Structure formats: structure tokens, C-alpha cells
Amino acid sequence: MKIERISQDKIRIFLTFDDLSERGIKRDDLWREMSKLQELFAEMMDQAYTELGFDATGPLAVEVFAMPAQGMVVIVTRTQWNHASGHGDGIEDDELDDVYEMEVTLEESDTIVFAFRDFEDFIEAAHTVHGNFTVPGALYQYNGQWIFHAEPENTDPQRLQAFIAIMAEYGEAASVTTAVLEEYGKCIIAEDAIDVTCTHFSPRRA
């Protein structure tokens, strides 16, 4: 589990599927394991306080994103809302609300983000999946790494998981968001990054 501060009142927490599995939360039952999610959220807030001094006292806005490659990204914001008008448009969960005063928004995303230590690793990955999978995406440079970002549509879930498994052999799932990449990253290949890379670069073991 990785926790980072975005601003004074906002943090982002990244949990891999291994992190969830260690806590008895299965990928397919993510939204149904509310008692375990309650324990997990308490653990996250304790760790956020220990590592970052983030105090979760008071109303919180919690955005939970489940992604096929990365696992779960949780964005927690200390905020204020009008109790008389309810908790906004988010999904309020009574069990979590018993412990923390919060507005919870749950969302599943098809976004796939992988980070590679160097360009050669991405070339290897691209040639391995090329011809077997069609997953258009962009390639960025960010924080000294090469970031492949894709939002696949109408892709068979089993084939998508096979694609993710291959990419994970060469890189690692990353929690960086589209907005961060667009604002702070350098776009190297704007579209069809795998096809373009395979056209212009050969793997080192070729």
C-alpha cells in the first residue's frame, strides 16, 4: 500500500490486488466486502496519519477507483458539505459512515497504466504483445520512467487480463492519473504507442 499527499487536504492511496488479497478482499467482490473495506479504510487512515500527518477528523470526500491492472486507487479529501442537503451525488455507505463522516463515490475504470524503468523494457513488452492484442495507448515520460497509458474499449475481459499479465512481466502497474500525465508528463507517442514502437524499434534480443 502506497500513500502520497496531493495537497494539504488531499491524499491518494494505491493498493495492488495483492494488497487487497492479503486483507481478504477479492477482486470480484470488491464492492460487496463492506465490513472488510471498513477495516481497510481505518488502516489506511492510520497509516496516512503516521506517514504524512494526515488527520482524517471531520467530513471526508472519498473517491474509490477500481482499475483492471492497478488494483484500487483511493483519493481522500478533507472537505465540508451541507448536512441539510444530504451528501451530494456520491454513494453514501452507512457502514463506513458509522466510523468516518464521509461521502463515498465508487467508480470502476478501464484505464491501464504501466511504468517501465527504461525504453528498452517497453520495446520488449510492445513486441511481445504486438500482433496478439489490439490495445491503443499513449507513451509518456514521467518521473524518470516510461509510462504506457491506455483506455481499452470493447476488449474481451480474458484477453485484457492476458495483455495485463504480459505487460506486468516487463513493467509494473502505476497509479499515476491521466490528468497528472497530461500536465506534468512528456508525451512521447500520442497514440498507437505499441504499433509505432514496433515499427521503428527492434527488441535488444532480436
* pLDDT tens profile 55-68: 888 888 888 877 76
Of residues 85 and 196, which shows the higher confidence score? 196
pLDDT of residue 23: 83
Any domain includes 52: yes
* Whether residues 22 and 79 fall in one domain: yes
Any domain includes 205: no
- Sign, CA dihedral 11-75-111-205, equals positive
* Whether residues 90 and 120 fall in one domain: no
Sheet holding 186-189, edge to edge: 172-173, 112-116, 145-150, 137-142, 186-189
Give the whole-angstrom CA distance, residue 126 versus residue 195: 8
* pLDDT tens profile 104-140: 666 667 788 999 999 999 999 999 999 888 788 999 9
- 65, 80, 108: which is the final residue of a domain? 108
Give the whole-angstrom CA distance, residue 3 versus residue 47: 8
Q: How many domains does the chain have?
A: 2
- In percent, how much of the chain has pLDDT > 70? 79
Give the whole-angstrom CA distance, residue 160 versus residue 4: 28
Q: Which residue has the cell 525504453?
A: 119
One-letter amino acid for residue 186 of the chain: K
* Whether residues 127 and 76 fall in one domain: no
pLDDT of residue 64: 80
The answer, as to whether pTM is greater than 0.75, is no
How many other C-beta atoms lie within 10 A of the C-beta of residue 134? 14
Of residues 106 and 152, which shows the higher confidence score? 152
* Whether residues 13 and 94 fall in one domain: yes
Rounded mean pLDDT, 78-105: 52
Rounded mean pLDDT, 175-203: 92
The residues near 206 (Cβ < 8 Å, ≥ 6 apart) are 127
* Domain that residue 171 falls in: 112-200
Q: What is the mean pLDDT of the chain?
A: 81
